[in-house]
Homo-oligomer: A and B are copies of this chain.
């Protein structure tokens, strides 16, 4: 799905006025606790402080004037590890399966290149989150690590998490 197919999707930097829209995307994901290692009872201010922290750039994907997705881009480590980026993505439940996550991922790879990063690393991809694993693989990410039973899924119990990596 390329940009020509989605002239209505705008990916742009986060501004303060996006806070509620971003929270509406994040809250159900955090409450479900199935994909992100965040406290399921995390409150709005804490979640927004995390997602839009000073150590990262945050973007929103906007469609018809509403926030349908969001992602952040940051250095995964400091010092000698600062050339590898890390990102987190979230798509509104009502807008999944429409290619928005892929568009955000492609946008983030371009943004990471523009910032001079040499690679992107995902530290903790819950393997049970099959759509995410499939998407990252299709975008050239490789599984470089497997963390045994590192995630406690609310339905499936202890499941593995993957470390995924892609050079830029």
Residues of A that sit less than 8 Å from B by CB:
33-34, 36-40, 42, 76-84, 118-119, 121, 123-124, 126, 144-154, 161, 163, 165, 167
Contacts of A38 in B (CB 8 A): 78-79
Instruction: Give the docked Cα–Cα distance between A36 and B83 (Å).
Output: 14
Given contacts A121-B150, A145-B163, 10 further A-B contacts (CB under 8 A): A37-B78, A37-B81, A42-B79, A80-B151, A81-B150, A81-B152, A83-B152, A123-B123, A144-B145, A144-B148
Tell me whether A84 and B147 are in contact in the complex, defined as CB-CB below 8 angstroms, given that A33-B79, A78-B39 are known contacts: yes
Contacts of A163 in B (CB 8 A): 145, 147, 163
